[in-house]
Structure 1
Amino acid sequence: MVGWLCAALGVAFGSAIIPLINVELFILGLVASDPDIPWLALGIVVAAGQLAGKLLYYLAARGSIHLPKFLHDRLHRQRPPTPRRERWRARTKRIRSWLDALRERCQRHPAWMTGTYGLSAITGIPPYMATTVLAGLVHMPMSVFLGVGFAGRAIRFCALAASPALFSEWLRL
């Protein structure tokens, strides 16, 4: 059992870093194949792994973690203007202004950002990755980020881990 919990921690951390890894599918498969794993322990371990991985995005958005020099140079180098770049800049101008307005609104209303982040941690709507980065951009206090994020993720993953057992009991009735 401890081995599966360690594996779940690793998969959760990996899924937080690489969005193509689906931790929800892993949890359902694990609980379906080995129903003896306690759903509460599994949910808490996966929530801790997810939050540890998302903490890197939060710190990077906050400016506490700096990109390696080769990535930083590549992202911020000056490129000569081309018609294609200018078209792209014109198309994304509206999105950039919307994101700037959203960021400013989140800084003015920290409770709104906390509520949105908590809802995202539980439901995944809006996307948890986006709210994690936005929380870093608006300098949400780390204690709020960790507390709300862990509580929301724990609720989500505990409910998910308990769901196969719950449905199997209903089918027996």
Structure 2
Amino acid sequence: MRELLSLLAIGFTSALFPLVNIEAYISVRAAVSGVGPVWLLSLAAALGQMVGKYLWYRLGASSLGWGWVRRKIDKPSQRARLELWRRRTDSRPFLAGCLVFVSAVVGLPPFAVLSVVAGQLGMHLALFLGVGLAGRWLRFAAILGGVGWLEHLGVL
């Protein structure tokens, strides 16, 4: 139980502070103490990450009310660009979800940046959280599975 809580906490911390690398943490943790239940451990790390990414999402959503951001957005060209991307996100939730999923799994575009942009565009929160969680869960399971495979080969 303590192991799951620590993964949750490290996941949350790494979501807020990119210098804390959850991928390195789970890789080293798995190499040192064994992989363990991959799906459960990766879910704990993904849940922690998504709580942190939710805060970035809320920051993005609230940032449009900040004075210096509002001054930038009040320019007609910037307002038109924001509205264009909002319409694209609203009218194509499947594609928006795919972008979130790819970012959550691969990291391109960076998931922290995408979290802020998703908030600014008003992406449906349940879509963002659900697809982001699935992507992060798969990412961390692949890392843990890769370490387990290397252990099985005798490399580690």
Q: TM-score range by the shorter chain?
A: 0.7 to 0.9
Cα distance 1:127–1:103, how it changes in 2: closer, same or farther (>3 A)?
farther
Cα displacement (A) at 1:171: 3.9
Which aligned pairs between 1:91-106 and structure 2 lie closer than 5 A? 100=82, 102=85, 105-106=88-89
* 2:105 is the counterpart of 1:122: yes
Alignment-mate amino acid for residue 148 of structure 1: V
Would you say the 8 A contact 1:103–1:134 is kept in 2?
Answer: no
SS of match in other structure, 2:34: coil
1:63-142 maps to which residues of 2 (within 5 A)? 63=62, 100=82, 102=85, 105-142=88-125
User: What does residue 51 of structure 1 align with?
Assistant: 50
Give, in angstroms, the shift of residue 106 of structure 1.
3.5
Deviation (angstroms), 1:10: 0.8
Which runs of 4 or more aligned residues in structure 1 lie more than 2 Å from their structure 2 counterparts after TM superposition?
Answer: 99-112
Q: Deviations over 1:44-65 (max 9, x none)?
A: 00000000011011112123x9
Counterpart in 1 of 2:18?
Answer: 19
Amino acid of the structure 2 residue aligned with 1:131: L
Aligned with 1:7: secondary structure?
A: helix
* Percent of residue pairs bearing the same amino acid type: 29
User: Does 1:170 find its partner at 2:142?
Assistant: no
Cα distance in structure 1, aligned partners of 2:91 and 2:137 = 28
Any stretches of 5+ residues in structure 2 without a counterpart? 73-77
Q: Which of these two proteins has the greater Rg computed from alpha carbons?
A: 1
In 2, Cα distance between the equivalents of 1:60 and 1:4? 30
What's the offset of the Cα at 1:141? 1.2
Distance 1:140 1:36 in 2: 35
Shift of 1:161: 1.2
SS in 2 for 1:59: helix
Provide TM-score, normalisation by structure 2: 0.80
* Per-residue deviation, residues 62-99 of structure 1 (Å, max 9, x unmatched): 23x999xxxx68x67x9xxxxxxxxxx9xxxxxx79x7
Code of the aligned partner of 1:20: L
TM-score norm. by structure 1 comes to 0.73
Report deviation, 1:168.
2.0
Give the conservation status (yes or no) of the 8 Å contact 2:61–2:120: yes
CA distance in 1, matches of 2:137, 2:147: 17
- Preserved CA contact (<8 Å) 1:106 1:113: yes
Other-structure match for 1:83: none
Unaligned runs of 5+ in 1: 79-88, 90-95
